[in-house]
Structure 1
Amino acid sequence: MRDPKQYPTALTIAGSDSGGGAGMQADTKTMQACQTYSTNVIVGLTAQNTLGVQGAHPVEPDVIDAQFASIMADFDVRAAKTGALFDAIRVQTVARAVKKYELSNLIVDPVMVAKGGASLLDDAGVAAMKEDLLPLALLVTPNLPEAELLAGMAIKTEADMVTAGNKIQQLGVPNVIVKGGHGDGPQVKDYVLLADQEFWLTGERIHTSSKHGTGDTLSAAITAYLAQGETLEAAIKEGHSYMNTIIAHPLNIGHGHGPLNQGNWEVQRNEI
């Protein structure tokens, strides 16, 4: 039962990014910036930096179960999100825990395709996500390559985004955001299909190499606002506004695809 005296708390169920740009680290930073406390279940460990991923090591299912048990025994989790889940076994382990603990306000960020196009979830994992996890979710937030996998179609136009959103909704998840960041043009357009309405969100396309963790950050911001009691529509719009703000103020970190500025820090140039 929710205790109104408890500070708004959310849960991220994701992999660990040793470079701090994506995964659990991006989620935690984002929730903190959006004034929500973050707990976490680590599904896998990665060795990575801004140049790429050098290694990935999934966590054993019993360790995932133990993390869920610890968190749910103590914290008033009001919203949760998933990120990279590595394979079908981990997807199914997470889905069982979501059902066991009756987690509500679940957002699925279906991490399946890397920015360079590499697959991050095999066919069995994609099938498990469709069959076991999406029907438990309040919202799913695929980018264009992920939406193509979930909808089973190519997406070339805005009309295709609408069609794909409806196909994904038919998988059992009532609300869908098809993100247009992988598209072209001066604006980024996201198609939002809710159970009772649809609309588009737009933002200026910022040309920067510091975009690592954009999907994690948007879904984490929406999760944070849901934990605070916002409606889904309001949480989506506030999360989108937050993203538009921070992506315009990149940080100079690393030598490859750098992280987002989740804290919205003033950009400083240190000269030695």
Structure 2
Amino acid sequence: MKTKYVLALSGNDIFSGGGLYADLATYNTNHLHGFVAVTCLTAMTKNGFEVFATDSQIFAHQLNSLKDVDFSAIKLGLLPNVEIAELALDFVKNHSDIPVVLDPVLVCKESHDVEVSALREELLKFFPYVTIITPNLVEAELLSQRNIKTLEDMKVVAKDLHDLGAKNVVIKGGNRFSQEAAVDVFYDGKVFQVLEYPVSEKNNVGAGCTFASSIASQLVLEKSVFQAVKESKDFVYQAILHSDQYGVKQNYDQ
């Protein structure tokens, strides 16, 4: 069988639980060859956990190095600033014939409103060019500029994001509404699907990255979008059950 290549545009998690480490582990578990263009570095400093964006010229060189690779899918993770996002968008536009999964990570949500507003506008530009977006509740609220307090609110926001150009949307609800169940909503412009899983006390660091890169993997393996989402939720749930103190572990015994 011909080797299939999948690209992640994602950050370097210093604790190796999420970001590019979760992406590559997920691709490997699905027997795909993973590539990474690094968008940022992270570290613990006196100010707490900080994100340091890759120099935009270096990021552009990374993407140029990969322009001739025959990718079967792309997963977009943490895009730390507008400059990086613009370069990523240009790259995605040149790969419109393959599945693209956008995990719209918004950093510094509480303290940098101007930066988040600019990045929000940039992320909205991706919507027409990606196969699916996978925001969590906070990201969905920021993107839609609506509050989410109920399952019905999740459905309203999913429709709003679809109306803004996203072809398929899955909002990760987590356990905000219940400590017993984690609830997600999928919407394809026609039908809402609600996915519900028990809440686990195990470490879920890297779960969002793993979820998005698993969807990309399943799309490469020719699953429908909803089936890719469903199988990825199953996969992440099992991975969390087998996690350690640093985050999700993909290579569990199945």
TM-score, normalising length: structure 2: 0.90
Alignment correspondent of 1:172: 165
Taking only the aligned residue pairs, the percentage that are identical comes to: 24
C-alpha displacement at 1:233, in angstroms? 1.8
* Residue of structure 1 aligned with 2:81, choices 57, 70, 87: 87
- Tell me the CA shift for residue 24 of structure 1: 0.9
Could you tell which deviates more after superposition, 8-17 or 189-198?
Answer: 189-198
**Cα pair 1:144 1:182 within 8 Å, conserved:** no
Q: 2:249 — aligned with what?
A: 261
Give the conservation status (yes or no) of the 8 Å contact 1:19–1:48.
Answer: no
Q: State yes or no: 1:62 paired with 2:57.
A: yes
Q: 2:36 aligns with which of 10, 27, 40?
A: 40
Aligned CA-pair RMSD:
2.3
Residues in 1 aligned to 2:111 and 2:238: alpha-carbon distance in whole angstroms: 29
Which amino acid is the alignment partner of residue 42 of structure 1? V
Picking from 17, 20, 23, the partner of 1:24 is 20
Asked if 1 retains the 8 angstrom alpha-carbon contact of 2:175 and 2:181, the reply is no
Q: 1:108 is matched with which residue?
A: 102
Aligned-partner residue type, residue 123 of structure 2 = M
Gaps of 5+ in 2: none
Provide the rounded CA distance (Å) in 2 between the counterparts of 1:235 and 1:70.
29
The answer to whether the 8 Å contact 2:102/2:133 transfers is: yes
Q: Distance in 1 between matches of 2:22 and 2:140?
A: 22
**3-state SS of paired residue (2:152):** helix
Compute the displacement of 1:226 (Å): 1.0
- Structure 1 residues 16 and 103 mapped into 2: Cα distance closer, same or farther (>3 Å)? farther
Is this contact kept in 2: 1:113–1:146, CA < 8 A? no
Return the offset for 1:72. 2.9
- Distance in 2, Cα, partners of 1:48 & 1:11: 27
Task: State the distance in 1 between where 2:33 and 2:44 align.
Answer: 25
Q: What are the Cα deviations for residues 144-175 of structure 1, in whole angstroms up to 9, with x where unaligned? A: 11111111111000000000000011111110
Alpha-carbon shift at residue 197 of structure 1 (Å): 2.8
Aligned 1:1-272 pairs, distance under 5 A: 6-48=2-44, 53=49, 55-73=50-68, 75-102=69-96, 104-113=98-107, 122-130=116-124, 132-185=125-178, 186-208=180-202, 210-251=203-244, 253=245, 258-264=246-252
Q: 1:117: how far off?
A: 6.0
Q: Which amino acid aligns with 1:58?
A: A
Q: How far off its partner does 1:103 sit? A: 5.6
- Find the aligned partners of 2:214 and 2:56 in 1 and give their Cα distance: 27
* 8 Å CA contact retained: 1:42, 1:64: yes
Mapped contact 1:106–1:138 kept (Cα < 8 A): yes
How many residues align? The count is: 251
Deviation at 1:26, TM superposition (A): 1.1
Q: Scaled by the length of structure 1, what TM-score is found?
A: 0.85
Q: Is the 8 A contact 1:91 1:133 kept in 2?
A: no
- Secondary structure in structure 1 of the residue aligned to 2:196: strand
